[in-house]
Structure 1
């Protein structure tokens, strides 16, 4: 059955590619944007066969005239880990309330795009379930997304929650329209500006290709009857070792291989002043992600959609690096593969 779907945050990386997937499947898609009056997929191509409306999630009813929809896919969010508290509350929590208000007026089901890292500081197996009370978070962004999930669950709107992990380039060619902020950590190492990398032994990051995430969100939007009330992890089949990522930059002959040290042994005082300043910013923003080992179950998502995440192995990492080189995001021209 073809659906009438509103996608918020459609100018963003995930929202734009979700729109592309839904349009390709024949659905009627309305893309809500705040300033940019165009919507592009992950390949950068501008989408046609799509309606565009201007809106702002911080306004009541998002500032959009009510119209009937089958599903509202709420991708709009502030993604900065260190954004001011008032911004995160206004956009991620208040904005979700306003989007729910709109969905209820439109008679729509509500698919909320959250993050797998609402797990906070928990390690071990993370179930596809509501965030437990008392969960501690590593930054205000995680906390705001968990709070927004709670708003959704108690609102009375028919809902499902999609939880992508760390979204990177597509599985086939590493293509990504906009590089996420975490990539800057590895860009600094590739440029030799960060020579030491604090990561706990066994720490992992869950990295997932954007095609799996956008395809998964589109599949959930199509199956909201079955998905209703559920939480779904859009994650890798296996996480990536943090140390593997750090050494991954050395897969390019021109890139230095950073020294990976235990966080307790890391001493920024011995670094050059410029590197120390960069490292302090990097660790302050992302450091906690290199000390944890959450294992995200995606059994419920796989059972419902039948979708399996493509391999996130060294070959995929090579494709990500190659694309970064091609785009000029990484400062080298020649890729040298390692075995394994």
Structure 2
């Protein structure tokens, strides 16, 4: 049994990680900020843990150090277009404060980053430090890459976990909170956006939350083997970006969005309301519909023995059906 502090414990990933750590018999302390309740992905409150109130923007996260075996650092701003100073304060300096706490606590540090620190790179993406000169598509990616450098240079024993785009459970499609990418589904399912411009051959790496949480727990339990490593928590196979529109079209009572190449996309021909929504959508996610990164997870498999469940069209359909059942997506009239 290990004593483990989880930052960002009230978040989607942090809550499910806490639930799995408790189920495995670990002594879990959940650091929360505004929301004092820690919930698993199924929405149930996680019992048999201790919660503490902290804030990564404060020295030592506002906590009094005590001995820990591992700090799992999930806390972060996930806003792609947040002001640079906010992302720096939370994702970079916040990581520095979490590292200072881990050092004072004698703990190892498992940093939760993102696979998309790959930036604009395409093709095979190996598990390792972000190469110098990498170009990023948004400030969020850049802040997470900078945080990884802070971790690697800290002198604290560390490992880095890199989830890709986290969606619902591989079996049920269930997800406690719908991430922002789900709004792309929602806009198309409601007929608010009728066209999806994406580069032919572009892909999205969508990963079930159960694989991500299981991987983080397995790394925390194997920090000797994981030390100084970078580990992709990613899909078994990325899906074509166009599959977002095709998945909507497979639902009988949803519209049939048109997939177009960017050079054929003419926003001036759209209704003014759709044009405004499409501009916001593409401003946030457009770059993810233009590239084809292929994330290797060989290091994760070697250290943990885990592999991702199938991330195919059938899984995407389960995600959509769960969204309908929860009222997030339109039900049949």
**What TM-score do the two structures reach when normalised by structure 1?**
0.97
What is residue 311 of structure 1 aligned with on the other side? 310
What is residue 223 of structure 1 aligned with on the other side? 222
Answer with 325-334 or 239-248: which moved more: 325-334
2:106 maps to 1:107: yes
Hey, what's the Cα distance between the residues in 2 that align with 1:94 and 1:22? 27
What is residue 202 of structure 2 aligned with on the other side? 203
| Secondary structure of the corresponding residue to residue 111 of structure 1 | strand
What is the deviation of 1:122? 0.3
2:324 maps to 1:325: yes
Gaps of 5+ in 2: none
What is residue 31 of structure 1 aligned with on the other side? 30
What is the deviation of 1:333? 3.6
Aligned length: 333
| Secondary structure of the corresponding residue to residue 237 of structure 1 | coil
Hey, what's the Cα distance between the residues in 2 that align with 1:299 and 1:151? 24
Hey, what's the Cα distance between the residues in 1 that align with 2:261 and 2:271? 19
Hey, what's the Cα distance between the residues in 2 that align with 1:84 and 1:232? 28
2:191 maps to 1:192: yes
2:12 maps to 1:13: yes
Hey, what's the Cα distance between the residues in 1 that align with 2:151 and 2:29? 21
| Deviations 1:95-120, CA, capped at 9 Å, x for gaps | 00000000000000000000000000
What is residue 81 of structure 1 aligned with on the other side? 80
Hey, what's the Cα distance between the residues in 2 that align with 1:232 and 1:317? 24
What is the deviation of 1:127? 0.4
What is residue 294 of structure 2 aligned with on the other side? 295
Hey, what's the Cα distance between the residues in 2 that align with 1:239 and 1:194? 23
After TM superposition, list the pairs within 5 Å mapping 1:104-253 onto structure 2.
104-253=103-252
| Secondary structure of the corresponding residue to residue 208 of structure 1 | strand
Answer with 237-246 or 216-225: which moved more: 237-246
After TM superposition, list the pairs within 5 Å mapping 1:23-62 onto structure 2.
23-62=22-61
Hey, what's the Cα distance between the residues in 2 that align with 1:109 and 1:27? 15
Answer with 251-260 or 289-298: which moved more: 251-260
What is the deviation of 1:273? 0.1
| Secondary structure of the corresponding residue to residue 53 of structure 1 | strand
What is the deviation of 1:36? 1.3
Hey, what's the Cα distance between the residues in 2 that align with 1:143 and 1:247? 31
| Structure 1 segments of 4+ aligned residues over 6 angstroms from their partners | none
Answer with 103-112 or 308-317: which moved more: 308-317
Hey, what's the Cα distance between the residues in 2 that align with 1:18 and 1:135? 30
Hey, what's the Cα distance between the residues in 1 that align with 2:117 and 2:34? 28
What is the deviation of 1:245? 1.8
Hey, what's the Cα distance between the residues in 2 that align with 1:237 and 1:140? 27
What is residue 95 of structure 1 aligned with on the other side? 94
Hey, what's the Cα distance between the residues in 1 that align with 2:245 and 2:215? 28
What is the deviation of 1:25? 0.3
Gaps of 5+ in 1: 335-340
Answer with 252-261 or 24-33: which moved more: 252-261
| Secondary structure of the corresponding residue to residue 30 of structure 2 | strand
| Secondary structure of the corresponding residue to residue 25 of structure 2 | coil
What is the deviation of 1:37? 1.3
Two-structure CA RMSD over aligned residues (Å): 0.7
